[in-house]
Structure 1
Amino acid sequence: MKRFPILFFRFLAGLGLAVAAGTGIASEGHDHGEGAAAAAETASPRISAHSDLFELLGIVSKGQMLVYLDRYASNEPVTGARIEFETGEAKGIAAPQADGTYLLKLGTLGKPGDTAFSFTVTAGTDTDLLAGELSIADAHDSHGEAGSRPWLRLMAWAMAAVALIPGAAVLVRRFRARRALN
């Protein structure tokens, strides 16, 4: 009967370690260091839209948007087009660049939030209207990462429970065997 308290305390120690390991997963406000910050900075906000005629991709960087325009059916770049844009707050024309892309400058492009865009594309005799929504995350919002992966905490708890099941079974078996002997 003396071994039961030792086994019980070993079980509790294992349970404590499993719970500590499960709660060690990054949660809200947890700092991941410079490596995670650098990875977050490399992903630029994007907007995409397509129709039967055109496919548009806009990549936001440093307060401006670089727009790529292709034919939807063939994926060939469309150069020399006129791209008019409109948001709820502003409207304008994207400037064609020498490399076949288009540059859109708008003061609100660096601000966090969701912005609905509509693009009127005119290339030769083809004209089409494309619409999309640009989402820019707040760089200071620590809820984004933890909120997007809540299953990690659940998985840690499940793994801890599965790891403790054999130990608990042995403990119960030994307790019942000792009780039967008394």
Structure 2
Amino acid sequence: MNPFSFQSRLALAAGMCLLPLCLAIASPGAHGPNGEHLDGPAAVSAGSGLPRIEAHSEQFEIVGRLDASSLVLYVSRYETNEAVLGAQLDVELGNLKARTAFEAEPGSYRLSDKKLVDALHRAGNHSLVFTLTAGADSDLLDGTLAVAAHDENDHAEGSGSGMRRGAAIVAGVVVLVMGAVLLRRRRHNFGAAR
């Protein structure tokens, strides 16, 4: 007599089939929330969902991202892509103006002025003017930072993703436990029948 009933085999097969699916849903994987590949640091940064800005002139290029408390900017020479370090960089939005602080370790410029950063977090298109002085060279650059209304809720969306991941893990564990209980019950019944 076979110790495994049809229901036990079915539960075990279902558990084995669902486990990879549950693990795939629960694991972060190599793709971002929008399906983009996350193969390296540049791709991770590009998929972060933070508002971004780009501006360039014949001499310089500025790229940056708005995070929760600041605007982080990177400056390079437009033709050579050589980083411009230790320059003076001012940012204007309407009648608000502030100077950035150069951070040598990442080679970035951080705008932390609370009024200006708070204004940038409002939904809409923000036209920024950058005044850059690097040694004997100086330039004015302009760019637009687009902030969507849902960007303020990115953290809430991320927690929903975490809840789905947690639910998938719980579902996988429940399926495995149910299969183990049914298997144990069948083994116990088979042993008692002898």
Counterpart AA for 2:134: A
The change in CA–CA distance for 1:140 and 1:79 in structure 2 (over 3 A counts) is closer
| 1:140, distance to aligned residue in structure 2 (A) | 7.7
**Runs (5+) with no aligned partner, structure 1:** 1-34, 142-182
Superposed CA deviations along residues 133-155 of structure 1, whole A, max 9, x for unmatched, are: 111001189xxxxxxxxxxxxxx
2:130 matched residue in structure 1 = 119
TM-score, reference length from structure 2: 0.50
1:101 matched residue in structure 2 = 108
| 1:108, distance to aligned residue in structure 2 (A) | 1.7
Q: How many residues matched? A: 105
**Runs (5+) with no aligned partner, structure 2:** 1-27, 35-46, 153-194
Percentage of pairs with the same residue: 37
Give 3-state SS (helix, strand or coil) of 2:120's partner: helix
Out of 69, 94, 98, the position equivalent to 1:92 is 98
1:44 matched residue in structure 2 = 50
Give 3-state SS (helix, strand or coil) of 2:119's partner: helix
CA distance in 2, matches of 1:120, 1:140: 27
CA distance in 2, matches of 1:116, 1:69: 18
| 1:63, distance to aligned residue in structure 2 (A) | 3.3
| 1:100, distance to aligned residue in structure 2 (A) | 1.2
Which has the larger displacement, 106-115 or 83-92?
A: 106-115
1:160 matched residue in structure 2 = none
The change in CA–CA distance for 1:140 and 1:97 in structure 2 (over 3 A counts) is closer
CA distance in 2, matches of 1:62, 1:54: 26
Runs of 4+ in 1 over 6 A off after TM superposition: none
Q: How does 1:140-159 map to 2 (within 5 A)?
A: none
The structure with the larger Rg is 1
CA contact (8 A) 2:50 2:151 kept: no
| 1:111, distance to aligned residue in structure 2 (A) | 1.7
The change in CA–CA distance for 1:113 and 1:89 in structure 2 (over 3 A counts) is farther
Superposed CA deviations along residues 23-57 of structure 1, whole A, max 9, x for unmatched, are: xxxxxxxxxxxx9xx83783111110101110000
CA distance in 1, matches of 2:94, 2:131: 15
CA distance in 1, matches of 2:127, 2:133: 20
Superposed CA deviations along residues 107-128 of structure 1, whole A, max 9, x for unmatched, are: 2222211111000100000000
CA RMSD of aligned residues (A): 2.2
TM-score, reference length from structure 1: 0.53
